[in-house]
Amino acid sequence: MKTFIVGNWKMNFTVGESSLYLHKLLKRIKPAKNLEIAVAPSTIALQPLSLQTDRKKIKLAAQNFYFRDYGAYTGEVSISQLRSLVDYALVGHSERRYIFHETDKDIREKVAAAIRGGIRPILCIGETETERDFGETEGVLKDQLFGGLQDVSEEDLNKVIVAYEPVWAISSVKGAKLASPDDVQKSINIIRKHLAAKFGKEREEKIPVLYGGSVNPQNAEAYLTLDDVNGLLIGGASLIADQFDDIIEIAKKVTNK
Ligand code: 13P
């Protein structure tokens, strides 16, 4: 399976800055077999960046979209509008769940809409610190996983990518902590166990599971070498070319082992 390195730029960079930054990344990054690199800029930058990027090197991902195809939904952008611009779309990011109050139903509809539109959804799941303290991690991961995948047919499961992002380890969260490789391994095992129990081992093995939460060039290798981790979803460090590039180099090294 490919290794995925995905940069989530969140609400950073103007369109001009995004374009300059992509230019810089395209100059540095060399395509590598078995490595898929994508960045998720702000929605307004997707159109110009889609013309600028070399998809063999860097693909684009949407940070957000609405699940209806068109209609009276002021301010929203649909998958059909994004179709020619991006290959991937984040769904269920904790910032969408907790700041913008997206529900499990919204997330389920979005996963299904992305697949209908030919865009691979990156379904983000992860427990909050309180849920972790109360020993609810497994239940939360299971609920978010199956809540998000409920409307996905078994044949379409191989289009889904799952990203485990413990909310307490995301750098923008106040007092964020670093998840130890052991913490991450435990949760990845939980995710894979439930996927296999519900969909069968063969289908489960085709679903990439990424890790995200304060990933940087110092800790990337430890996360990437965990069993059944197929890549990284990176926030803060993806905004700094040197760091993003270093993480990509680490991924190349690990993937070619
Ligand atoms: P950080 O890498 O800044 O912790 O962000 C993680 C994230 O939320 C990526 O989607």
pLDDT tens sequence across 58-87: 999 999 999 999 999 999 999 999 999 999
CA distances from 160 to 66, 154, 178, 208, 253 (A): 18, 11, 26, 8, 25
Strands 120-125 and 35-40: unpaired
**Cβ < 6 Å from ligand 1: which residues?**
8, 93, 165, 170-172, 212-215, 233-237
pTM equals 0.97
Pick the CATH number of 3-255 from 3.20.20.70, 3.30.980.10, 3.20.20.140, 3.80.30.20: 3.20.20.70
Question: Which residues pair with residue 198 across a beta bridge?
Answer: none
Asked if 254 contacts 244 with a C-beta cutoff of 8 angstroms, the reply is: no
Q: What is the mean pLDDT of residues 140-159?
A: 96
Active-site residue flag, 101: no
pLDDT tens track for 176-214: 899 999 999 999 999 999 999 999 999 999 999 999 999
Interval 212-246: pLDDT, tens: 999 999 999 999 999 999 999 999 999 999 999 99
**Domain ranges in the chain?**
3-255
Dig out the tokens for 23 from the structure: 């230019």
Tell me, yes or no, if 154 is annotated catalytic: no
The pLDDT-based confidence of 32 (bands split at 50, 70, 90) is: confident
